[in-house]
Structure 1
């Protein structure tokens, strides 16, 4: 949120009290300087601070990313890898090693604008010890393509998303719709069971950790009612809680990348073999 009467040209233009980074006066000098430059730049920019992927962004990027990112401009670890960081993974890693890098002509899918093709530029940010403490990512529209890539031949899937974090639920649903699928979201397993009883879904996309009932038990009941149901789990704990699942499933480790999500959807568009 931009504070009343202030223009968004520095870290002090925002209230960071609810963010992961807290009071900007306590930020490392390199982070505050880079953030001030980012907020005063009209091009879409992302700033990744620390290997735990704390992400900040400016208003130009927020307009692309959509309302799920529209509170304080970052200061948290996102539930889904931001599209530029996912699409430019190799270049991002080179920047972490201290080398400025680029990832030209990448197709990005955003919840807010649908998507487009961008050239990505990654700049390492060095802290007081001269070690790379963060990476700044700039987006520039790519040159027009001579022809569009062929459309996905597979039909849309009807997907129920179960995620108790409202922002994450909104973001995942918007991403799935941007991929061309039908997506509905709920935050509680009881609501999910009611939706599943009311109409058919092709895919249950559920967080493993939910209030009142685990995502595993929810999926177990869903598959018992509809054996053709395909299941994708999202978890911040790896596959530890999925060791004894007796039905076919796919799992994504949070934060997952958009191409991982799309690959999972491509796999569940066909009957799944038993998970081993």
Structure 2
């Protein structure tokens, strides 16, 4: 199955689980079957991170609340980036995966909704999903808007570093992954352009100047490494950040400076890496 950011679940038409990363329900642990039944039939916004790959499942209420697109294909896929409810607090997620049931009222999470950066104030409830042997196999998050109204950011400068680059160019061939990454970068306060392949990205780099190139390594045709090498010839100040399944070790083999983030990465990781990249650039206000 092609890697996607996330796949929403629908009760109509009947779900064809054979098309998903999870496979047929007959092979699922009982805890997953029960949790998915609850998720699909509950009007409360819910999402599940399942397995060591952090396969993502969510219902229509979650899609409506978070402003994400509801996809037509049912099931789950490993997300490029952990969604806000699973990526906002590393320590909290570690505790949930360790078996703790947790509640966090009134947490602000950045999202991109209706063309604007917004912070949702949410009550978050995390429940470990245990198999028959008692091992934690996943985490379910149920959420709702907190009593106080959600706060809309007055400007992108509130979330962007003061020395943030003028623009980030995102290069990702998977359309859903590209959408999610761009959405979150805008919610963090950055101006973002995007391309689906290296050739288009090079054309955009010839037309405009960017502070950061944020690219997948595996692209159709020209690879992300080839793209970055060519881009640096014309824009040597460009900061290169890769998203890949290889981790950070492969960057030591490159003949140019770059940072690598292993998928799936968390929002705080993304924020920190971009802030560090921005600090290496001449100060340019958004």
TM-score by length of 1: 0.85
5 Å-filtered alignment, 1:1-276, equals 2=10, 4=12, 13-68=14-69, 70-72=71-73, 74-112=75-113, 114-144=118-148, 151-152=158-159, 154=162, 157-271=166-280
Unaligned runs of 5+ in 2: 1-8, 282-286
Report the number of matched residues: 266
Q: Deviations over 1:150-206 (max 9, x none)?
A: 924625631111111111111111111222222121121111111111121221111
CA separation in 2, counterparts of 1:74 and 1:80? 17
CA gap 1:244/1:126 in 2 versus in 1, 3 angstroms: closer
After the TM superposition, which segments of 4 or more aligned residues of structure 1 sit over 6 Å from their partners?
147-150
| Partner Cα separation in structure 2 for residue 214 and residue 192 of structure 1 | 11
Deviation at 1:112, TM superposition (A): 4.2
**Per-residue displacement from partner, 1:53-73 (whole Å, max 9, x unpaired)?**
122111111223444553345
User: TM-score, structure 2 length as denominator?
Assistant: 0.82
Q: Distance in 1 between matches of 2:70 and 2:266?
A: 17
* Structure 1 unpaired stretches of 5+: 7-12
The whole-number CA distance in structure 1 between the counterparts of 2:246 and 2:225 is 13
Cα 1:23–1:234 shift into 2, 3 Å:
same
Q: Taking CA–CA contacts closer than 8 Å with sequence separation of 6 or more, which of the two structures ends up with the larger relative contact order? A: 2
Could you say what secondary structure the match of 1:21 adopts?
Answer: coil
Question: Quick check: 120-129 or 84-93, which moved more?
Answer: 84-93
Give the alignment's Cα RMSD to 1 decimal.
2.7
SS of residue in 2 equivalent to 1:48: strand
User: Is the CA contact (8 Å cut-off) linking 1:68 and 1:171 kept in structure 2?
Assistant: no
